[in-house]
């Protein structure tokens, strides 16, 4: 299978390349630094510096679109534009190249996030729940809409609404580990906000299932079936590193530092991966205790 991947140097993309890197797959990564990509993966992947290098006669069997600038920063107007361009605009350009290809890819697996639902409080949501109206939700909705345009050319499209991806190699968990190991772990605000998480191994397995199975299309929540509150997440992570975690990061301080994007930490979603469950997908880690024990040991 010939695969084109965006976001291949990120946390998920790098792990996915490691899983797909075998004689049966030929991977090409879209990157602004193609030489660095080739070097990083030991010459076992190809790289393109721009989508314009995708000539109409070039064939890709699948496209995995994971690109997106880091979102957990203060949302200035300039930052919002970066977030939009790296997700929505890039996806629009990607679909444009698909439309020009003489042989269309069979499938496009494209990123999204559980931020699609906004802050849902105590209400459980699944893929049938509509999108919210805040900036994060509008970003995800436009991102998905851009990807779905590929269906006009009979490309199967799966959009993956990803929760908090847990990995010891990067992402939010890695940033949290050192203060927790110093006994400085803290819940965020009152700790009541829901955190829908997924172990990176399960995320990769789900993406591969969606890519390979012709029966899959539409939106899928990529979250474990047992979300937890921030207070519970804090307790379990503290226990995993054998340190107390009784501190509190006040809401007022978080809002002062992050402004509008503070909602990413102080709000949350109680997400059900209903469509994954219906597909028969089996999670290796459906319990937070087991997931964190695996990742921090």
Q: Which residue segments constitute the domains of the chain, with CATH numbers given?
A: 2-164+198-223 (3.40.50.720)
pTM score: 0.95
| Average pLDDT of the chain, as a whole number | 95
pLDDT tens for residues 192-251?
999 999 999 999 999 999 999 999 999 999 999 999 999 999 999 999 999 999 999 999
pLDDT interval class at 161 (50, 70, 90): very high
pLDDT interval class at 41 (50, 70, 90): confident
What is the model's pLDDT at position 21? 67
What is the model's pLDDT at position 185? 94
Average of per-residue pLDDT across 248-271: 95
pLDDT at residue 20 above 90? no
pLDDT at residue 44 above 90? no
How far apart are alpha carbons 139 and 164 in whole angstroms?
A: 17
pLDDT interval class at 19 (50, 70, 90): confident
What is the model's pLDDT at position 23? 72
Distances, alpha carbon 114 to alpha carbons 16, 128, 183, in Å: 20, 13, 30
pLDDT interval class at 24 (50, 70, 90): confident
* Residues forming a β-bridge with 222: 162
First to last CA, the chain: 35
What is the model's pLDDT at position 180? 96
Q: Tokens for 165, please give them.
A: 């991806």
pLDDT at residue 96 above 90? yes
Q: Is 168 helix (H, G, I), strand (E, B) or coil?
A: coil
CA atoms within 13 A on the CB side of 291: 28
CA dihedral 203, 18, 82, 88 (to 10 degrees): -60
How far apart are alpha carbons 18 and 11 in whole angstroms?
A: 11
pLDDT interval class at 42 (50, 70, 90): confident
What is the model's pLDDT at position 43? 78
Average of per-residue pLDDT across 135-163: 98
pLDDT tens for residues 168-178?
988 999 999 99
Which of 17-31, 66-80, 124-138 is predicted least confidently? 17-31
């Amino acid at each position: 299978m010939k695969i084109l991947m965006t976001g291949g140097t990120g946390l998920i993309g790098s792990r996915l390349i490691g899983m797909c890197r075998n004689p049966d797959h030929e991977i090409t990564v879209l990157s602004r630094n193609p030489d660095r990509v080739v070097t990083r993966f030991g010459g076992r992947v190809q790289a393109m510096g721009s989508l314009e290098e995708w000539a109409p006669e070039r064939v890709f069997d699948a496209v995995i679109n994971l690109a997106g600038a880091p979102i957990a920063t203060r949302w200035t107007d300039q930052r919002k534009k970066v977030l939009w361009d790296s997700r929505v605009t890039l996806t629009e350009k990607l679909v444009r190249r698909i439309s020009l290809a003489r042989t269309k890819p069979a499938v496009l697996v494209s990123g999204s996030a559980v931020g699609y639902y906004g802050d849902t409080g105590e209400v459980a949501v699944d893929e049938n729940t509509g999108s919210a109206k805040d900036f994060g939700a509008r970003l995800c909705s436009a991102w998905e809409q851009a990807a779905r345009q590929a269906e006009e050319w009979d490309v199967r499209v799966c959009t993956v609404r990803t929760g908090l991806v847990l990995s010891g190699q990067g992402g939010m968990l890695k940033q949290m580990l050192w203060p927790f190991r110093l006994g400085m772990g803290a819940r965020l605000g009152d700790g009541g906000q829901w955190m829908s998480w997924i172990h990176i191994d399960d995320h990769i397995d789900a993406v591969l299932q969606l890519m390979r199975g012709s029966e899959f299309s539409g939106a899928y929540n990529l979250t474990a079936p047992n979300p937890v509150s921030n207070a519970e997440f804090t307790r379990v992570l503290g226990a995993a590193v054998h340190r107390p975690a009784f501190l509190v990061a006040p809401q007022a301080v978080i809002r002062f530092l992050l402004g509008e994007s503070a909602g990413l930490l102080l709000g949350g979603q109680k997400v059900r991966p209903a469509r994954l469950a219906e597909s028969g997908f089996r999670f290796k880690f459906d319990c937070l205790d087991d997931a964190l024990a695996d990742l921090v040991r």
